[in-house]
Amino acid sequence: MAEISVNIVGSEPVLMPMASRVGDAVRQLLSGKQQRKTIAALANGEAVDLHRELTEDTELTPIQTDSELGLEILRHSTSHIMAQAVRDLFGTDVKVAIGPAIENGFYYDFYREEPFSPEDFEKIEERMAQISSDGLPFTRKTMDRQEAITHFAALGEKYKVELLEELEDEQVSLYQQGDFIDLCRGPHLPDTSWVKDFKLLRVAGAYWRGDEHKDVLQRIYGTVFFDEKSLKKYLNNLEELKKRDHRKLGRELQLFTSRDLIGPGLILWQPKGAQLRRLIEDYWKDEHYKHGYELLYTPHIARQDLWQTSGHLDFYSENMYAPMEIDEVKYQLKPMNCPFHIGIFKTDKRSYREFPIRWAELGTVYRYERAGALHGLMRVRGFTQDDAHIFCREDQLEEEIFHILNLNLHILATFGFSEYDIYLSTRPEKSVGSDDIWEKSTAALKQALEKKGLGYEIDPGEGVFYGPKIDIKIKDQLGRSWQCSTIQVDFNLPQRFDMTYTGTDNSEHRPIMIHRALMGSLERFVGILIEHYAGAFPLWFSPVQARILNITDDQLEYCEKIYNQLRKAGIRVEKDLRNEKLNYKIREAQMMKIPFMLIVGEKEKENGTLTVRLRDGKNLPPMKIVEFVEKVLSESAEGRGL
């Protein structure tokens, strides 16, 4: 009998009979503990099941339960089990579409007339548990593509037929567990008994193949892990996310709201939210001034002609609010600030000596976002960009980009974001500008990134049509990524607006324009901050820094005195002098996540002090009012990076 040589990567090969299974090799080559963790393997680089027969000399890399790939296989297999359960329960009224593993779980798309209900979820989960305890093996078979089409056509599985018709391979693989057969590339778990710690999470509509002209399917999402602990951890994490949800905290902390009467995607900033925002804006303005920017203000609407010249009407009009007519002239709300800044540029004849010109504006723009895309502060229709435009010569580009990166990362770090992923997007297929300018600008962006010592990834062809760009995605406390910053070179608008400057040679040249935003949108950035800090903001931008809590009415006068003194010193302080017990007042202040609670009773009144309770429940020893002022001011300044 023929033999083949099999080894686990990094160890000695052994000879095994031809057509031994991967699982046999694993049992022979791995220790008990390693064996039990192994659910599949890479055989000469191809991911295969443990049941797969080996027909040539093979190097195996085990895929184990503690790897990403292992989880992916678990999730994929679980989606099959869910499909089987759904089919068992609802019969052929249900058509199966696709069911991949995704980040943190899996889904399966079904076509069914009736919507799935929460009660259905319970039934499906019960049935899945049954399938799991049956320990059905996942078996793979290959089939001629035409044969597979006939097979699925006979079952009325039109989505599978459609998939098969588009496949290029003449042999396709099918996986079966119990009586459920699905078209699938695999690999899968050895059997269904591995799938114990799962949960179905939600159902949502999804189009067949993501195309809104095609059938609407019901997508059931779920998650699964190899052990109960990990599942619980994940579910707890979901709970934590809910607790941090900026919409919930925004309401509780009285930061912002939106009302039906105002309109969807339009935010009302309540006093505390407005205070928070003002602190962010003031800091932003100060930093920009220090870094050589000048600040601009521009209007919210402009004549339609402006948007014609800028090209927004041609490229962006579906995102713009409809025109309004004033004195027989059409005006439109601005979706971007750039044309206004160009308008200011063109008020004078510019010289190369003025460059770089750095203009910044907290400009509020309005964009039509599809109703289904709106989400709290994260996706709105009216928002304020922390926008800036830099006009410079080509030879200044790299230095300007470097300058922007410095300011950018400095500001993000001050807000507590020091982990990020950076992407450099290069020329797309449809674009304006010469090869030469694209090359030079892309090189300038790269060099600036490298000079700053920043790692980055290249997104080939993902640049905007008018120039290359750098995007920075920050990571929050929960490890989620948010794209906030963007730095974009623009060869288009300077030309459209015929912007020029006089160079050293006394002739006219075209300036380079850079658009950039650091926080992106104030609204969204505040949303991210709320979730990042779970509403417990650092002292320097806490809308309320301290709240005075008296113990009895005997300290009312003294409390007023403290309040006035702190307020004059520039401390954001509130007083809670209601006739309530201390416990009650502490609870409320705690829930408002106020950094300092100032407790004032007879002792403090007599000594001219106050007792500070911190957000974490600890107390500081009693201190004089001036000491507290000093403490808050110095800690705030430090937090603000002063």
Q: How far is the CB of 305 from RNA (least distance, A)?
A: 15
Contact status: 478 vs RNA (CB under 7 A): no
Please identify which residue in 100, 135, 156, 205 interacts with RNA, judged by CB under 7 A. Answer: 205
Question: In sequence order, what are the residues at sequence separation of 6 or more whose Cβ sits closer than 8 angstroms to the Cβ of residue 168?
Answer: none
What part of residues 401-440 is at the interface with RNA (CB under 7 A)? 428
Please identify which residue in 247, 291, 403, 510 interacts with RNA, judged by CB under 7 A. Answer: 247
Contact status: 311 vs RNA (CB under 7 A): yes
Contact status: 240 vs RNA (CB under 7 A): no
Query: Could you tell me if 66 and 81 are in contact, meaning their C-beta atoms sit under 8 angstroms apart?
Result: no
Based on CB atoms, which residue is closest to RNA, 143 or 274? 274
Based on CB atoms, which residue is closest to RNA, 216 or 478? 216
Contact status: 468 vs RNA (CB under 7 A): no
Query: Which secondary structure element, helix H or strand E, spans residue 553, and what is its range?
Result: none
Based on CB atoms, which residue is closest to RNA, 177 or 384? 384
Supply angle C-alpha 128, 133, 134, rounded to 5. 95
Contact status: 395 vs RNA (CB under 7 A): no
Specify the DSSP class assigned to residue 480.
-
Stretch of 10-18, 46-54, 281-289, 585-593 lying at the interface with RNA (CB under 7 A): 585-593
Contact status: 458 vs RNA (CB under 7 A): no
Contact status: 218 vs RNA (CB under 7 A): yes
Contact status: 312 vs RNA (CB under 7 A): yes
Exposure string for 157-175, b = 16+ CB within 10 A, e = fewer: bebbbebbeeeeeeebebb
Query: Which secondary structure element, helix H or strand E, spans residue 561, and what is its range?
Result: helix 556-568
Q: Amino acid identity, residue 91?
A: G
- Which residues are catalytically annotated? 338, 367, 385, 387, 389, 469, 515
What part of residues 371-390 is at the interface with RNA (CB under 7 A)? 371-376
Contact status: 503 vs RNA (CB under 7 A): no
Based on CB atoms, which residue is closest to RNA, 68 or 260? 260
Contact status: 49 vs RNA (CB under 7 A): no
Specify the DSSP class assigned to residue 485.
E
Q: How far is the CB of 157 from RNA (least distance, A)?
A: 20
Residue 175 to residue 401: CA distance in whole angstroms: 53
Residue 642 to residue 640: CA distance in whole angstroms: 6
Contact status: 322 vs RNA (CB under 7 A): no
Please identify which residue in 316, 321, 352, 423 interacts with RNA, judged by CB under 7 A. Answer: 316
Query: Could you tell me if 307 and 313 are in contact, meaning their C-beta atoms sit under 8 angstroms apart?
Result: yes
Q: How far is the CB of 200 from RNA (least distance, A)?
A: 12
The residues with which 508 forms a beta bridge, in sequence order, are 502
The secondary structure of the chain in percent helix, strand, coil, rounded to multiples of 5, reads: 40, 30, 30
Stretch of 19-27, 355-363, 538-546, 593-601 lying at the interface with RNA (CB under 7 A): 593-601
Q: How far is the CB of 420 from RNA (least distance, A)?
A: 19
Contact status: 265 vs RNA (CB under 7 A): yes
Site residue total, RNA (CB under 7 A) = 62
Separation of CA 302 from chain center: 33
Contact status: 492 vs RNA (CB under 7 A): yes
Please identify which residue in 121, 207, 321, 423 interacts with RNA, judged by CB under 7 A. Answer: 207
Query: Sheet containing 46-49: which strands, arranged edge to edge?
Result: 14-17, 3-8, 58-64, 38-43, 46-49
Residue 168 to residue 165: CA distance in whole angstroms: 8
Q: How far is the CB of 19 from RNA (least distance, A)?
A: 42
Neighbours of 642 (CB within 10 A): 11
Stretch of 36-44, 53-61, 171-179, 256-264 lying at the interface with RNA (CB under 7 A): 256-264
Query: Which secondary structure element, helix H or strand E, spans residue 471, and what is its range?
Result: strand 469-475
Q: Amino acid identity, residue 344?
A: I
Residue 126 to residue 242: CA distance in whole angstroms: 26
Q: How far is the CB of 334 from RNA (least distance, A)?
A: 12
Specify the DSSP class assigned to residue 464.
B
Neighbours of 193 (CB within 10 A): 14
Contact status: 581 vs RNA (CB under 7 A): yes
- Tokens in use for 43? 């055989």
Best CA proximity match to 148, nearest among 135, 162, 127 = 162
Q: How far is the CB of 562 from RNA (least distance, A)?
A: 13
Please identify which residue in 168, 170, 179, 212 interacts with RNA, judged by CB under 7 A. Answer: 212
Contact status: 553 vs RNA (CB under 7 A): yes
Contact status: 243 vs RNA (CB under 7 A): no
- Tokens in use for 90? 């609802």
Q: How far is the CB of 379 from RNA (least distance, A)?
A: 8
Q: How far is the CB of 361 from RNA (least distance, A)?
A: 18
Question: Residue 5 phi/psi, 5° resolution?
Answer: -100, 125
Contact status: 235 vs RNA (CB under 7 A): no
Based on CB atoms, which residue is closest to RNA, 430 or 568? 430
What part of residues 610-639 is at the interface with RNA (CB under 7 A)? 611, 613, 617, 619
CA distances 465 to 320, 441, 445, 492, 534, Å, are: 19, 13, 16, 9, 38
Contact status: 10 vs RNA (CB under 7 A): no
Contact status: 232 vs RNA (CB under 7 A): no
Supply angle C-alpha 301, 303, 307, rounded to 5. 90
Give the CA radius of gyration of the chain: 31
Contact status: 536 vs RNA (CB under 7 A): no
Give yes or no for a cis peptide into 187 (omega within 30° of 0): yes
Residues that bind RNA (CB under 7 A): 115, 202-207, 210-212, 216, 218-219, 247, 251, 258, 260, 263-265, 310-312, 315-316, 369-376, 428, 464-466, 492, 551-554, 579-584, 586-587, 590-591, 597, 599, 601-604, 611, 613, 617, 619
